[in-house]
Amino acid sequence: MKITVIMPCLNEAGIVEQSLSRVQGLRARGHEVILVDGGSSDQTIELARPLVDRIITTPRGRAVQMNAGASVADGDVLLFLHADTRLPAAADLLLTTALANTGRRWGRFDVRLSGSRPALRVVGFFMNWRSRLTGIATGDQAMFMTRKLFDAAGGFPDIPLMEDITLSRTLKRHSAPALIHTKVITSSRRWEQRGVLRTILMMWRLRLAYFFGASPQQLARLYQRP
């Protein structure tokens, strides 16, 4: 079962080499890595080129970028990986075993935030608990799915925010998710820059607003507000 790792990027020159160095073991085992650049003005593409199988450029937008990567992928399974998220060493074995053993067609990993503050451990615990309870995954959890299911679901909706949650809802109609308890480690920079409590409140505000019908465009403006 060949896996294609799809990494959307925008101006990630500061971390892209380190991020991609961590998936070289997957490439060595025959899997594929595609970087999808959304119009970087720094050296992201130049730094990434030796570390990926393919680079494509698209207009800016995470959903647009991930869909474009999927359209050229050779893998049987698509794994969508943020540049600031680190997979466990045996991610390919964990993923393929989870799909094979459960008969499910998509899933995600548990997540741990990278910072050392105790509050971040609590945040990670509740992110994973909420995901197990609802069957909804987020991009920070390294979502994966079979290529056939991705196509059947129509890919990520072209919206500026909540594309991962919206796709999760669609995927659930086809299959329950496979939940891998081994953790990916995702950057806590957003939480630390904005403040843990403030970020928690903001994310719950966005989710509730989305549940009650707010448009992703409105939510994106709230999310991007300083």
Tens-digit pLDDT string for the chain (226 aa): 999 999 999 999 999 999 999 999 999 999 999 999 999 999 999 999 999 999 999 999 999 999 999 999 999 999 999 999 999 989 999 999 999 999 999 999 999 999 888 888 988 998 999 999 999 999 999 999 999 999 999 999 998 888 999 999 999 999 999 999 999 999 988 777 777 777 777 777 776 767 667 676 766 666 666 5
The vertex-73 CA angle with 70 and 76, nearest 5°, equals 100
| pTM given for the model | 0.89
CATH H-level, domain 3-224: superfamily: Spore Coat Polysaccharide Biosynthesis Protein SpsA; Chain A (3.90.550.10)
- Would you kindly state where each structural domain of the chain is located, as residue ranges? 3-224
Note the pLDDT of residue 168: 96
6, two tokens: 């799809």
> What does DSSP say about strands 32-37 and 54-57: parallel, antiparallel, or unpaired?
parallel
Q: Which pLDDT score, from 0 to 100, does residue 199 have?
A: 75
Looking at residue 220, its pLDDT comes to 66
Q: What is the pLDDT of residue 112?
A: 96
- Predicted local confidence at residue 205, as pLDDT: 74
Cα 143 to chain center, whole Å? 5
pLDDT of residue 224: 64
